[in-house]
Chains A and B, each alone.
Chain A
């Protein structure tokens, strides 16, 4: 799957960002090729979620460049990035609990042409039969795992070129984690690139092509995911970054 000739889909260089006075990212450089699954690892507070939010335009990038499909992402804002094919599933399966499963998915297709919207929703639902069965139930009635599936399905409605998933396994039982990550595999087959932030290293590595590790707002490691000694390298990278 690693085709070296492909132009990068996402190409970011020396990205700085943070919250107010607090700088979290101190110059992050990374790229993702079309159809590639990349795991983003790192200890708590390393800046993984901040990086995703910066890429999707939820927070402003204070320095550096970000290009997606050859186009600059600077100043686009979250709506612009979604319209260009970049979906971001934020952490904590934050679906809209007061609305039905179906309405949650329709909302994900807000900018999709009206004629196409329902078909997209149906297509996304085929990935998750367990929530398709509850399409008319309110989001609040779903379990944590089902809410996470719904959140992922919201991303799928947008048919992104790149899907960014932030800790989809958090708070889920192992069976459900496999269920959600199986979708990542399906997406790879379908040619969608995925940027996956995950706590469970082994599960993340099993579905990924390549790995970046962040620590203290910087990339400290970039390796293929199938490298045999990776866990030890990761530990070294976190501890020896000083």
Chain B
């Protein structure tokens, strides 16, 4: 039982962490939390199944196509739902515009794809239950993402420019950094990370339209736990949430596991609004 809790918990945790990173990557360049984050997780699964199972495309090519479609949707998010409302960010119109876009995505999938869970392809053949790809693939994807981002942020000028825009948008603009292009790029990047979450978790979550709403919420919990924009916090929070959810599910049953998660979420918001790992924002004078 314990091994099942741990393997499922870690796999779910990796998916939540990846969605959390999706939120953070969009947030860092725009200060916008976008409701499309969870939908991208859902789309990773749906497009994976569409390209590979339904169209019979080679897995690697199918994966590449899935990433490209997700990146495109990320760019659309920025152009349609984020850029027009950035000027009046204090009015929080982005909550509505990104929600509207997320719902449109979800509705199109529900109508054109299916409202029922659909099978997702398997890539690595069958193995023993506990080292099944549905458990290790999300964790591997999460690790690869973390390493990739580390390389990007630490070792490329573009990555440094991302960090600069995230820290001080005005100063970055004054320095001549291409702030708008970087923002679009960050949305494309975030969308691919979200798509990867859904693709790698496809065997676990299936290609299911309802995953969008679930991932929107469960992917935001690690962000709230870890602090906005804090990827390390999102990873710790994501795995913590996955394990907590599975353990609660085992201890008190499925009904109350979700209540436990929701209660944890509210309690954390109330006692540590900056997240458990996020430093309180310092003020610039």
Q: Are A96 and B174 in contact (CB under 8 A)?
A: no
Binds B, one of A30-38, A65-73, A103-111, A174-182: A103-111
The answer, yes or no, to whether B95 is at the interface (CB within 8 Å) is no
In the bound complex, do residue B284 and residue A108 qualify as a contact, i.e. CB atoms below 8 Å apart?
A: no
On chain B, which size bracket covers the interface? 10 to 19
Closest chain-A Cβ to B153's Cβ sits at a distance in Å of: 9
Once the chains are docked, how many angstroms separate the CA of A237 from the CA of B61?
A: 72
Chain B residues within an 8 Å CB radius of A106 = 157, 160
Q: Which of A79-115 contact B (CB under 8 A)?
A: 79, 81-83, 88-90, 92, 94-99, 103, 106-108, 110-111
Q: Does A169 contact B (CB under 8 A)?
A: no
Q: Are A79 and B176 in contact (CB under 8 A)?
A: yes
- A96-B164, A107-B160 known; A82 and B284 CB under 8 Å? no
CB-CB under 8 A from A154, the residues of chain B are 175
Least CB distance, B32 to chain A, in whole angstroms: 21
Complex interface bits, B172-201 against A, C-beta within 8 A gives 1, otherwise 0: 111111110000000000000000000000
**B112 an interface residue at 8 Å Cβ cutoff?**
no
Closest to A57 in B: B173
- B171 partner residues in chain A, CB cutoff 8 A: 90, 94-96
Contact of A96 with B167 in the complex, beta carbons under 8 Å: yes
Asked whether A94 lies within 8 Å of B168 as measured between CB atoms, the reply is: yes
Q: B109 in the interface, Cβ–Cβ < 8 Å?
A: no
- Knowing A96-B163, A97-B167, A99-B160 touch, does A108 contact B175 (C-beta < 8 A)? yes
In the complex the two chains form, what is the Cα distance from A118 to B157 in whole Å? 12
**Measured CA separation A89–B170 after assembly (Å):** 11
The reply on A42 being an interface residue by CB < 8 A is no
* Chain A, residue nearest B87 (CB): A20
B85 CB contacts on chain A under 8 angstroms: none
Chain B residues 141-165 with CB under 8 Å of chain A are 157, 160-161, 163-164
**Interface positions of A from 143 to 201, Cβ below 8 Å from B:** 154, 158
Identify B175's interface contact among A82, A97, A98, A103, CB under 8 A: A82
* Contact in complex: A88, B163 (CB < 8 Å): no
Q: Which of B161, B170, B174 contacts A110 (CB 8 A)?
A: B161
Interchain CA distance A154-B176 in the complex, whole Å: 11
Question: Are A58 and B176 in contact (CB-based, < 8 A)?
Answer: no
Which residues of chain A are within 8 angstroms of B157 by Cβ–Cβ distance?
Answer: 106-107, 110
Q: Are A110 and B176 in contact (CB under 8 A)?
A: yes
CB of A107 within 8 A of CB of B174, answer no
6 contacts between A and B (CB under 8 A): A92-B285, A94-B284, A99-B167, A107-B164, A107-B175, A110-B177
